[in-house]
Amino acid sequence: MAFSIALIIILGLLSESVLKKVGIPGLVGMLFCGMLLGPHALNIIKPELLAVSADFRMFALAVILLRAGLKTRKEAVNRVGRVSVVMGFLPSTMEGVAIAFAAPYLLQISYREAVLLGFVVAAVSPAVIVPAMIDFADKKIGTLKGIPSMLLASSSLDNAYVIVVFSALLGIHVGAAKGLSWLFAIPQSILLGVAVGLGSGYILWRVFEHYSVRATKMTLAILAVALLLIWLEELVKPYIVMSSLLAIMGTGFILLEKAEERAHKVSAKLSKVWIFAEIILFVLVGAQVDIDLALKTGLAGVLLIGTGLVVRSIGTFISVSGTALSSGEKLFCIISYIPKATVQAAIGAVPLEAGIKGGDIILAVAVLSIIVTAPLGAMGIQFSGRNLLARE
């Protein structure tokens, strides 16, 4: 396993450096590096590492979501809160429904399977969006109108919402859940996640104030709490749903509000941790991608994904309509909602593992959506952000 980790780091850094020189975001190189090293290509990464890749990816997500929370100010949330909420629900709902209607005609699967497929593909990737928005926030790009904060919050809400809906639909499909009680799980997951995150952030703040903890130890403690929140979500899942993603962001948010100087020190430390975490995250996401499987759906799969993106873009435009954003800024928001990666890699294979007919097609389209949208979205965010957003 040590050799695999070393190879991932070296080749991840190399691919990032090469692509950045030609104006392409480094994460695109990391994704393709993972595809090359993974079991579906050269098969160099050890199976033991792949077996725990989900844990590594969650660690990396915890790092980036903490950084997101530590960059999200209350004033910015108040300014764009309503838009963030609408963007957290409307575009993914419209995309999921559009795919559910189109998939039976394009892929010859049932409507029940198509609905599952819709809410596998519908989630955006915080792993792609959040680092870009943090970078823009650091450079004061788009911050006058709170655009980075808006997209940080909305992408996390989008993920929490889609995962809850997908889990509920899967339970109904296999007979583990009945009726419409799952509708209550959506607000429950979001509100409980936010409440737990705010509570954990408040407790950490009091501890840090009382014991005058140094920045490095604060960072380790916050990371430990973030991982515990992920564990807590899994622990209580049989009884109650909670979004650990929102809880982690909430923890960082409270620390910024209560102790800004400490929050900046922790954020600086986490930015160094992210250098390693980013490589691990995107290389291991890439390693999950089976290009042969993705090609199984062919042109029909690409057309389905394209249809979903068009409808999602309409939903995003509706979400930002009536705001003070310019046409260029609205276009940036639409482009930022293109990339998919993390959720699709995490849940794409779940229907197949559950023995659902058409599960192989669902997995193939999920994989194809990563290949098509992650590089396209990452490049689009960087290019449009530099050209469409105002620098403060």
CA neighbor of 143 nearest in space, from 315, 135, 261, 269: 135
SS3 141: strand
What pLDDT was estimated at residue 176?
47
The answer to whether 371 and 189 have CB atoms below 8 angstroms apart is: no
Query: Above pLDDT 90, what percent of the chain?
Result: 35
Tell me which DSSP letter residue 44 carries.
-
Q: Is the pLDDT of residue 121 over 90?
A: yes
Please compute, for residue 232, the number of CA atoms within 13 A of its CA located in the half-sphere on the CB side.
19
pLDDT in tens, 369-386: 988 898 899 999 999 998
| Cα gap 387→336, rounded to integer Å | 13
Under a CB-based contact definition with an 8 Å cutoff, are residues 131 and 64 in contact?
A: yes
**Beta carbons of 116 and 46 less than 8 angstroms apart:** no
Longest dimension (CA), the chain: 62
Chain centroid, CA 162 distance in Å: 11
Angle (nearest 5°) at CA 274 between 270 and 275: 125
Q: What is the pLDDT of residues 44-78, one digit of tens each?
A: 888 888 888 888 878 888 888 898 888 877 776 77
pLDDT tens column, 227-266? 999 999 889 888 888 888 889 989 999 999 998 899 999 9
Query: Vertex 158, ends 375 and 64: CA angle to 5°?
Result: 60
Which residues lie below 8 Å from residue 270, measured CB to CB, with a gap of 6+?
A: 63, 66, 67, 70, 219, 223
141 pairs with which residues across the strands? 391
Q: How far apart are CA 389 and CA 147, in angstroms?
A: 9
Mean pLDDT value across residues 150-176 = 81
Residue 309: pLDDT band with limits 50, 70, 90: very high
* Tens-digit pLDDT profile for residues 23-48: 777 878 888 888 889 888 888 888 88
At 315 the pLDDT is 96
0.85 surpassed by pTM: no
**CA-to-CA distance for 141 and 163, rounded, in angstroms?**
30
